[in-house]
Each structure stands twice: as C-alpha cells, then as structure tokens.
Structure 1
Amino acid sequence: MKNVNLLILDDKEENIISLSALLADVHHINIISSTDPNEALKICWKNDIAIALVDVQMPDINGFEFVSLLKSNPKTNHIMAIMVTAISKEERYFLKGLESGAIDYLYKPLNPEITVAKVTSFVNQIHIQEEIKQKNIALEESRKQLLAAKEDAEEARKSKEIFLANMSHEIRTPINGIIGIIHMLRNSELNVEQKDWIQRLDIASNSLLLIINDILDISKIDSGMMKVENESFSLRQKLEDIRKIFKVKALDKQLDFEMEIDPRLPEYVKSDPLRIQQIVNNFISNSLKFTETGTIRLKAEVLNQSNTESTIKLTVTDTGIGVKADAIDKIFLAFEQADDGITKKFGGTGLGLAIVKRLADLLNGTVSAESIYGDGSAFSFQATFEHAEHFPNEDKMDKKVFSKLEKFEDLSILIAEDNDLNSFMLAHMLESWGCKVDNVKNGRQAVEKVNQYDYDLIMMDTHMPIMSGFEAIKEIKKNSNMQKTFIPIITISASVLEHEQAAAYEAGADSVIGKPFDPLDLHQKISNLISKKRVQYD
C-alpha cells in the first residue's frame, strides 16, 4: 500500500518533534514538516501532500489563512486540513476553521489515542479514495477495450458476412448451371445407359449442394445471420412427409424404416418447419449412413402437455455401428466425427450434427445422443411447442418435368446474366415453355435493351459487372415510359443472406428466386406475375 504524505505545520520546532513522535506508529505515512507557512505552501505545491496538520496560531499567516490558501489553489485544494489549536474550544473558532476549509480539529494538549485514531482514519480514507480512483481508471480502460473489441467483432462480422455472400454467389452460380443442364438432359431423348449417367450426376450434384448448404448454414448461424420463422404447421404431416422420403432410401439399403407417433401429438404447432425437418433429416441421414442391417425408427412422443403447449421429443434410433463412449461429447462439434476410421470409411464433413445443435439452440430446444458401440444409437431433439389452431393451406405444385409444363403464350423475356452456362440453361428452359428470349451480360446492357424493346418479363441476376442487378432495376423503374416501369422483374440470387434478398424488393423487384432454383418454382412465379400484370391492364 502506498505511503501518504503528511505535512505538519507549526511555528514551534518542539511541537513538530512531539507530534511526529506521536504519529510514528501510524502505518503508511511519510511525515514532512515546516515551521514556516510560506515554505509549507511551496512544499504542498511541489509534493503530493494528502493530509496537513496545521497549527492555528502562527505569525505572519495564521492557520485559518493557510488553509484558505490551500483550498483556493487547484493544485492543493484536495489536501485534508486538520486544525491543531490550543485556543478556546468556543464554537466561533470551530466554525471559522470549517469555513476556511478544514475538516477536523485537534486540541492541545493532544490526546495520543484520539490523535492517532483520527490520523489513521483519514489515511485509510485516502487509501480507499485512491483504490476507488484506480478502479475507476481500470473500469474506464476496460470500457474502452470492450468498445474496441465490439468494433473489431462488428468489423469481423461484416467481413464474414461479405465473404459468405461472395462465397455463396461464386459456388451456387456454377452449381445452378450444372443442375439446370441435368434438368435439360433429363428432358431430352436418352438411352438407358445415358439415363443412368444422368441419375448418377444428379445424385452427385445434390450431394455437393448439401455439403455447400451445410457450410453456409453453419457460417450463417455462427455469424448470427440465421433467423427462425415461427409459423403454424402440422408436425404430424411433416413427419409423415419425412417418412415417405427416407422409407425409399432405407429400402434401397434393405433396411426397415418405422415411425411411431404419440396419439397425444397436437395436430398443429408453431415453430420453424424447415428447421425441424433439417434436424430430423440430419438424424435419419446419419442413421442411414452408419447402419448396414436392421431398423431405423423415428419416434415422436409428448413428454408434457397443457392446453396451450406441448413438450415434444423427436428421436431417431438405429441398429448401426454406434459411437464410442469417449466420442459422444464431441459429435455435436463442427468438423468432428467419432473417430478417423469413420471418416475414412463413410466420408462426411462432420457438420451435420453441429448444425443440428445450433438449430436446436435457435429453436430453444436441446439435442442429446445415446449409443452402445457396435449396437446402435439414438439421437433426440426436444423442445416446447406452442399449440396452433390451423395452418395455411399451400397450393402444391404439380411435380412434372419442366418440359411438360404448360407453355406461355407469346411471352418475351429478357435475361440479364453474366454466367454463360446459367444464361444458356435458363434460356433453354424458357424457350421450352414457348418464350422468346434475349440475353445480356450486365445491368447496363439490360437497361439499354429495355429502352429499345418491349418485354413481358425480366430475369435479372443480382451480381453482374459494370452495373449490378439492383442498379439496373432502379434505372428501369425510372424509365420515362410508364409502361416499361411496370415490367415484372424476377431477381436471380445466389445469396443466402436475407438482407440481400430484401434489398431486391427494395430496389423494385417483383419476386426473388435463389440459385440453384427449381424449374417448377420458376414456372409458377412467372405464371403468377404474368397473371397479375394482365389483371392490372384489364
């Protein structure tokens, strides 16, 4: 603990010696003394004096005047002044001392115990004040560091978001072209061997897309960019749809696929059906991958229930290879698998269960795993769902190959797309629907084409050189020809970021479709926009 400088000012040397001896046992003080008030003032200015014991009766400058001088100077007004006096204890003297700035009195002859106790008390008070001051400095420094860390984190988040958007666009754009060409080949005349090739290519491209989606999903979650959509849906129907998909895949591996639904399961609940399906799909996909013989079972049970909500546990069990006891804790970590041998034999990125864990957190739920090595595993997701009375009915698209879809009548479409493969694939698809198609490679060319020709619809890629899709849309919406400003525009975005898709609507787009897109979805969007346009003109 730092020593406190204490000044003794008395015009008589013997009083200074006596008081110094009395205070010798007080810890953490450094005594400085003077018999001259002017010299004492200089000492206070040059040294960090914290306490001053000041004799009242002195020639030239008395104690009251000395303390007043201390308090009038910013360099010395912090000093705790204690008056030491042998004059009367009358109230008027006491008040005069306080008015000058003193904080206490010591009366001669000095009582040793009282004197030591008072000085010790003031020394402790100064140490406490210094400690508070240092803590305030430390707190302020911590606040500055936290602000700096927050700014760094925000900058890192923005950088990660930009990287995620760019990576999404750069990867999804060529995959969109590949999947589009597969659609085109499937609709062409093929022999049996070629159909088999296309089927294998389709499986490979979808596997690649799943891996990319996993990487993008986990990046979105870690960046805080993934949001859950709370909506009403039939959990029972969702599980039934999942069963239909995976029952076929289980049969391909000669596995039994069973489903057990608790009769108390509410008909409709509120949550994010896409994320629920993603969780269950990951569980079942894992079971399919690591199970060679036996059974995979999907079970939905109600653990607790009230009039307004139910706690539901969704469990997938299998008779697969199981997980070693010492590996259970790490399987929900990103890029981790139970052991290296599994990665070599079965492949995989180790992202599936990591995404499940993060999705469960977003849904305010929990995940767990139980396993007997060599005898199978059980993976569970548990959450509390609010009951819903109904869910909106959605029109289901007719699952036809795209070339068999209804053709459009005399439809002229402009495609603005800088990727040749995507442009070729999209043009072929639209032409198979009876559309007349023009192609441009950037937003500036799109604006020029719109100025020269009349179009019924524009397909606009968002990321293009020279002028982006957003900029082109804004230019088209400012066209002096009012009819051209109402041309329906569908933006084609490879971004997984919600704000970028929202920006398309803000720029003036009428609809957004992602890469890679489903031809059936695109056909329906075009149909809806053209129908809406015709109603407006009628």
Structure 2
Amino acid sequence: SEESNEIKSYFLSNMSHELRTPLNAILGLSQSIMSEISDEKIKENLEVIKYSSVSLLTSIDDILDYSKIEKGELNLERKPFDLQKSLTEIKSLSYQQARDKGLTFIYEENVELPKRIVGDAVRFRQILNNVLHNAIKFTPSGKVKLQITQLEENEENQILTFNVSDTGIGIRPEKLDRIFESFIQEQIDDKRKFGGFGLGLCIVKALVNLYQGSVSIESNVGLGTTVEVKLTFQKAQQEPLELIKKDSKALLKGKSILVVEDNPVNQLVIKSILRKWEGITFDFAGHGLEALEKLNSKSFDLILMDLQMPEMDGYEATVAIRGGKGGLRHTNIPIIAVTADTTEKSKIHANSVGMDDYMTKPVDSELLFEKVLKAFYLE
C-alpha cells in the first residue's frame, strides 16, 4: 500500500510538472505579447488563449487536489494577498466563459471590501472559479451572477459571503444532499452533455472547510441554482511590501540573477519578465552542474531554481551551493524555487535543502517581482 502511494505521488508530481511546463510557456508568452502590442483583435485572441489555459490549469489542479483530499494532505497557505486583484482575475475568466455560451455575467459588490486580506489566494480563486464554472456549465441560457453580499468583522478575522446564482437547469431535491460528493453530477448523462470531472464541488467543500467557512445550495429544477459561500480570512497587518515596491529601483540596481532552468521555452518566458526590470542583469544555466560552473566564475545576488532538471536537479544543486561548491560567496545566496511541481512534498523538500522561497508555474510576473524584492530587502 505504501509503495502504491509512493508511485501514485510520483506520477501526480510528474504529471503536474509535464503539464504545467508547456502551460507556463503559453500563459507567460501570451501575457508578454499582450503587454507589447496595441492591436485589439490580437489582444482579444490572446485573452481567449489565456483563459483557456487557465481553465486547463484548473482541471489539473482539481485532479491533484482530489488526491490530496484522499490522503489528508490538502492545506492552505496563510499569506497577505490583494483581494481586488484576485476578484478581477475571477471576473475576467467568468466573463469570457459566459460570453462564449451567450450568457450574461453580472458582478456586484454590496459591501466595502478590504484591499488586502490574509489567506490562500490560489485556493480562494479555485473555490469561486469552480462554483462559477459549474453555474456557467449548467446554464443553457440567461445569466450568471456573482455577488459579495456581506462582510463580518471581529478583532482578528473578516468573514466574507459570496453568492453565485444562475438561471440554469437546477438540481432535483433528492440530489442536493449528494452534490458535494466526488464524481457526482445531476445525472450520469450530464457527464456526456456538460463534460467535466465531477470533482469541482467536492474540492470546494474541502477547501471551504479549511477556510473555516460554509457552503450551501438552494435550487429549483428548471429555474436555477444559488450557491452561498462563506470564507474566514485573517485581517492583514501593516506590512512593508508597498514600501519595498517604492524602493524597488534601489533594491534592484546592480543586482545579478541566475536562472537555472532546462526548458528553452520557459527560459524565454522568464527572460520576457526579467528584461522589464530596470537595473538588473541575468544569466541562464540549463541544469545544476552548469549553475555551479557559472557561480564559480561569476558573482550573483539571487537564484531562480527549477526543481526537475537533467544532470543535477534543483534540490541537489541547492545542497551543493549551500555546501560551498558554488563558491563561498554564494553559500547564503537567496534561492527561490520556480517549479511546475505543486505538491506539498516538494515544498517541504525544497525548504529542507535550504531554499528560501517557493513559487509555481505558470509564473505570475507580479508575484515573482514581489518575492525577488523581499529576498533583496531581507538580505
């Protein structure tokens, strides 16, 4: 049984890496091209590529997360994030999906929202995206609406209530109590008609529980469905991130970054991000051994490290660097893992070998910028 679980974990980790690697290229280059062109038609087409890729990414995450639920390994990060930015991404994806089906998408804020809250931004988006995707999928005509209806506060926490309503086919009363089980849809035939894995609401329920929240559904057959989601976030304390960003020119000036990445297309994606950062220089290494050679011949201030590479992987390379094999001046250099592997096991392993931070592909350019600035600020 243990061997079977190990094989399963390895397979899922490898699958995540292999699928996320090309998606990183698709999303990264699409975003880069969008920021450099003015042709609205091309931008519109790139938006379609972007949201289709995000949709595929969500399906990959659902498969991986279902495995984590089975093993009791599903966890939340607790970090400050920009609530409005996350909501903008959620709205953009839902608008595109609804438009493709000829539906109207409506968004309403009935309360004044905090700018930053503490929680897991990725999981927050996953919860609402799954609920909204379901609403759009089971609504042949009419509208889908996302409302933020309530904000409750105490000394430490902020509880937000989200309502997703649709004018879709609805759910029969006898099916409502089973709707949060895995692989359940209103009818077996719905799988053929509407598609999907049937995992979305099972994962939503597990994530909402981790968020110390609740999820409930009201539905009328032929009239539509309303899903209410309550999530508990910690209040964001005053942090120096915005101040750090104001000092970004001074923090980045003269810094040199080594990117250790074996995939040429992913190198291109990182290059398209880094070349926009004023004041820095950067170089690339195709694997850990090449990284050690570069570190011994030149001085660097930070390393962006892929994990799965030929010759010498990111874990081995980090152990070697911390042990002085990349020169004594680099033993304490900040190392940020930039990987397609999203498993908890990999995060723990990366931390145990001496990496300072961890982020997953597809690379979010703003998040990468924040992590690099923090690394220089804390030096």
Distance between the aligned counterparts of 2:183 and 2:26, measured in 1?
27
1:444 to 281, 285, 289: 289
Name the counterpart of 1:88: none
Of stretches 506-515 and 413-422 in structure 1, the one that deviates more from structure 2 is: 506-515
1:498 to 323, 327, 344: 344
- RMSD over aligned CA atoms reads 4.2
**Could you list the runs of 5+ residues in structure 2 that have no partner in the other structure?**
none
Name the counterpart of 1:194: 42
Aligned: 1:156 with 2:1? no
Normalized against structure 1, the TM-score is what? 0.57
Change (3 A) 1:200 1:396: farther
Superposed CA deviations along residues 34-78 of structure 1, whole A, max 9, x for unmatched, are xxxxxxxxxxxxxxxxxxxxxxxxxxxxxxxxxxxxxxxxxxxxx
Conserved 8 A contact 1:247-1:257:
no
1:409 to 253, 272, 278: 253
Shift of 1:397: 7.1
**Alignment-mate amino acid for residue 170 of structure 1:** E
Name the counterpart of 1:475: 320
What is the DSSP-based 3-state SS (H/G/I as helix, E as strand, rest coil) of the residue aligned with 1:459? strand
Shift of 1:422: 0.7
Aligned: 1:206 with 2:54? yes
What is the DSSP-based 3-state SS (H/G/I as helix, E as strand, rest coil) of the residue aligned with 1:473? helix
Conserved 8 A contact 1:368-1:380:
yes
Aligned: 1:462 with 2:312? no
Shift of 1:311: 9.9
Shift of 1:439: 2.1
Name the counterpart of 1:129: none
Superposed CA deviations along residues 159-193 of structure 1, whole A, max 9, x for unmatched, are 33222222222221221122111122123335333
Name the counterpart of 2:362: 516
2:373 to 523, 527, 530: 527
Name the counterpart of 2:269: 425
Q: Identity over aligned residues, as a percent?
A: 33
Highest RCO, 1 vs 2 (Cα 8 Å, sep ≥ 6): 2
Aligned: 1:176 with 2:20? no
**Alignment-mate amino acid for residue 293 of structure 1:** G
Rg comparison, structure with higher value: 1
Distance between the aligned counterparts of 1:231 and 1:488, measured in 2?
20
Distance between the aligned counterparts of 1:196 and 1:215, measured in 2?
29
Shift of 1:381: 4.5
Name the counterpart of 1:370: 218
Distance between the aligned counterparts of 1:379 and 1:326, measured in 2?
17
Name the counterpart of 1:3: none
What is the DSSP-based 3-state SS (H/G/I as helix, E as strand, rest coil) of the residue aligned with 2:300? coil
Name the counterpart of 1:283: 131
1:51-70 to structure 2, matched below 5 A, reads none
**Could you list the runs of 5+ residues in structure 1 that have no partner in the other structure?**
1-151, 534-538
1:305-384 to structure 2, matched below 5 A, reads 315-339=163-187, 342-363=190-211, 367-381=215-229
Conserved 8 A contact 2:146-2:162:
no
**Alignment-mate amino acid for residue 392 of structure 1:** Q
Distance between the aligned counterparts of 2:85 and 2:372, measured in 1?
31
Shift of 1:487: 2.7
